[in-house]
Amino acid sequence: MARRVVATAYGGPEVLALVEEPVGPPGPGEVLVGVRAAGTNPFDVKIYSGGLGRDPAKLPMRLGSEAAGVVRAVGAEISGPTGAIRVGDEVVVFRAAGAYADEIVAPASAVLAKPDELSFEEAAGLMLVGTTAVHALAAAGVAAGDTLLVHGAAGGVGSSVVQIAVASGARVVGTAAPERHDDLRRLGAVPVAYGDGLLERVRELAPDGVDAAVDTVGTDEAVDVSIALVADRDRIATIAAFTRGGGLWIKVLGAGPGADPGTAIRDAARLELLRLVRSGSLRVRVGRVYPLAEVAEAHRTLAGGRAYGKVVLVP
Ligand SMILES: NC(=O)c1ccc[n+]([C@@H]2O[C@H](COP(=O)([O-])OP(=O)(O)OC[C@H]3O[C@@H](n4cnc5c(N)ncnc54)[C@H](OP(=O)(O)O)[C@@H]3O)[C@@H](O)[C@H]2O)c1
């Protein structure tokens, strides 16, 4: 039997419950993974809070799309994006269905070798934010020599955007709360506080102009400042301004009406992320770790936005 988190209804963290369910042996092309850590993301909240619909037929609903763990069993003919998969391998699973669990069965196509450079907790928080960051940078056409503005630069996606852009030779100005500015400097970005006067502050920091912008926040301020500073709207990508973004001819990515899901580019990005981790260019910051049984508390922390890193569940 596996212990797993399900949403028993649509609502707040109080609808999350731990249940025991049988987990089958892996079929052909599948892998049974003992989960050592599962990453949480704001998207998980949108699913059970009803932000993406309230179909009662989907309840109880499994949650979580990324995990790190150890292979316990494999089906026939097994090979994943990073090669052969064997019992005992340390792996990252993305996209996983129902990753908030102590054991999951996943298709081999979602199972990649865990880089030794990351703990299980760090590895569990690598892929969703990292693949989103690669997609956003590609959409905004960011290249060496560019000056890039990142909104929400200290968040999960934002800090990945910063590190990958810096590694590619871009100069990055990133918005964050003042208490996170030292973190941003350590990642190689020039920090700037969001809020009134942001446009003028960024102009001062980037007197030669801003070539591209990535918005991970979705506020009017983030959208308006990006439009004021970046001449070519094709070089502004947002992963959060779904309502406003579409009408402004900027790139709206990932979810929501008219958004580009970028499935192929995000799947391919997984290997690039592993390479960046191994070369020391990309790190994952874990903010808080909770036992699976305390998932509701973990989600309160996630919603509070003050974890200062990924919120991770461990069985
Ligand atoms: N479309 C997609 O494909 C996709 C994929 C992944 C995530 N997302 C969405 O992208 C958003 C960010 O995800 P995440 O995982 O990076 O979340 P996160 O780790 O919670 O980061 C969010 C960041 O937003 C910053 N922030 C809060 N209010 C702000 C404001 N008014 N102005 C500027 N920054 C502000 C916070 O920075 P401070 O700590 O500095 O205040 C925080 O670090 C979420 O809405 C998520 O659902 C979309």
Residue 87 CA to ligand 1 center (angstroms) comes to 37
| % pLDDT > 90, the chain | 93
Q: What percent of the chain has pLDDT over 70?
A: 100
Would you give the DSSP letter of residue 1?
Answer: -
- Given a contact cutoff of 8 angstroms between Cβ atoms, the answer to whether 260 and 254 are in contact is yes
CATH superfamily of this structure's domain 128-263: NAD(P)-binding Rossmann-like Domain (3.40.50.720)
DSSP letter at 110? G
95, 223, 239: which to mutate for ligand 1, most atoms within 8 A of CB? 239
Residue 76: predicted pLDDT: 87
Beta-carbon contacts of 29 under 8 Å, excluding residues fewer than 6 positions away, are 75, 76, 77, 78, 107, 108, 109
User: Is the pLDDT reported for residue 293 higher than 90?
Assistant: yes
Q: Which atom of ligand 1 is nearest to the CA of 305?
A: 20
Q: Give the residue-averaged pLDDT of 16-44.
A: 96
- From the CA of 68, how far away is ligand 1's center (Å)? 23
CA of 155 to the centre of ligand 1 (A): 5
pLDDT at 72: 97
**pLDDT class for 37, splitting at 50, 70, 90?**
very high
Pick from 179, 182, 216, 226 the residue to mutate for probing ligand 1's pocket: most ligand atoms within 8 Å of its CB.
Answer: 216
Residue 256 predicted with pLDDT over 80: no
pLDDT tens figures, 8-19:
999 999 999 999
Q: How far is the CA of 251 from the centre of ligand 1 (A)?
A: 17
CATH superfamily of 2-126+285-314: Medium-chain alcohol dehydrogenases, catalytic domain (3.90.180.10)
Query: Residue 79 — pLDDT band, cuts 50, 70, 90?
Result: confident
How far apart, in whole angstroms, are the C-alpha atoms of residue 289 and residue 228?
39
- What is residue 288's predicted lDDT score, i.e. its pLDDT? 98
Instruction: Among 217, 253, 310, name the best residue to mutate to test ligand 1's pocket (greatest count of ligand atoms within 8 A of Cβ).
Output: 217
Start-to-end CA distance of the chain, whole Å, equals 13
Task: Tell me, in angstroms, the distance from the centre of ligand 1 to residue 203's CA.
Answer: 23
Q: Check pocket membership of 156 for ligand 1, CB cut-off 6 A.
A: yes
For position 78, what pLDDT does the model report? 83
What would the pLDDT profile of 216-243 be if each residue is shown by its tens digit? Answer: 999 999 999 999 999 999 999 999 999 8
Strand ranges in the chain using DSSP code E only, listed in sequence order: 2-7, 16-21, 30-39, 61-62, 66-74, 79-80, 83-84, 90-94, 103-107, 111-113, 147-151, 171-175, 190-192, 212-215, 236-238, 251-252, 286-291, 310-314
Region(s) of the chain under CATH 3.90.180.10: 2-126+285-314
Closest approach atom of ligand 1 to CA 128: 6
CA 213 to ligand 1 center in whole angstroms = 15
- What is this structure's pTM? 0.97
| Ligand 1 centre distance from Cα of residue 182 (Å) | 18
Question: Ligand 1 in contact with 163 (CB < 6 A)?
Answer: no
How far, in Å, is the centroid of ligand 1 from the Cα of 152?
6
CB of 8 closer than 6 A to ligand 1?
no
Mean of the per-residue pLDDT values for the chain? 96
- Asked if pLDDT for residue 248 goes beyond 80, the answer is yes
Does residue 245 have its Cβ closer than 6 Å to ligand 1? Answer: no
Does residue 24 have a pLDDT over 90?
no
Closest atom, ligand 1, to C-alpha of 256: 1
Assign 186 a pLDDT band (cuts: 50, 70, 90). very high
> Ligand 1: does its nearest atom lie under 6 Å from the Cβ of 154?
yes
pLDDT at 109: 96
Nearest CA to ligand 1 atom 5: 132
Mean pLDDT of 153-179: 98
Residue range(s) occupied by CATH 3.40.50.720 in the chain: 128-263
